[in-house]
Amino acid sequence: MCDFTIRRLGNEHRYTAQCALPFNIYNEKIYMFLWFWMLLVAVLTLYSLIIWLFRALISRDRVSYIKNHLMAAGKLEFDYTQEGIVERFCKYYLRHDGIFLLQLIDHNTNHHTVNEIIGALWDFYHDMDRDDWDIPRQKTKFL
């Protein structure tokens, strides 16, 4: 509130009014826009977090992601007999962090790059001795 006095014909009149500076009005509009912008960014970030958690926690989504890229790279035919091999490839060779890293590469580059990387990893895995496919790798204990 702003108090001010006005002299008129020898009398002083005291007035109290709300202070409204033009600069404050512009600041208010800017901060309102920024508040709604931050709210929008928070909602989109929460949505993105839920999608990435879904991708990380659902095993079927990871296997189908790798299977789709293997078929796009021409390394895998649509065959139900190789489905177990793809699941072992995902579970024991790539694991969660490998698939997560491939998804990040896919998100930040293009599908062709990820197809080539997954194709090369598949060729390397496929060239391994077939006796090792049924036995999961032993976890190494670190000191």
Residue 141 pLDDT grade (very low, low, confident, very high; cuts 50, 70, 90): low
Rounded mean pLDDT, 71-88: 80
Each domain of the chain, given as residue ranges in start order, spans: 21-54, 58-135
- Residue 131: pLDDT over 70: no
Give percent of the chain with pLDDT exceeding 70. 85
What number of other Cβ atoms are within 10 A of residue 99's Cβ? 21
- Residue 143: pLDDT over 50: no
Q: Per-residue DSSP letters for 6-59? A: EEETTEEEEEEE----HHHHHHHHHHHHHHHHHHHHHHHHHHHHHHHHHHHH-H
Question: Minimal CA–CA distance to 62: which of 110, 95, 111?
Answer: 95
**pLDDT of 130:** 57
**pLDDT of 32:** 96
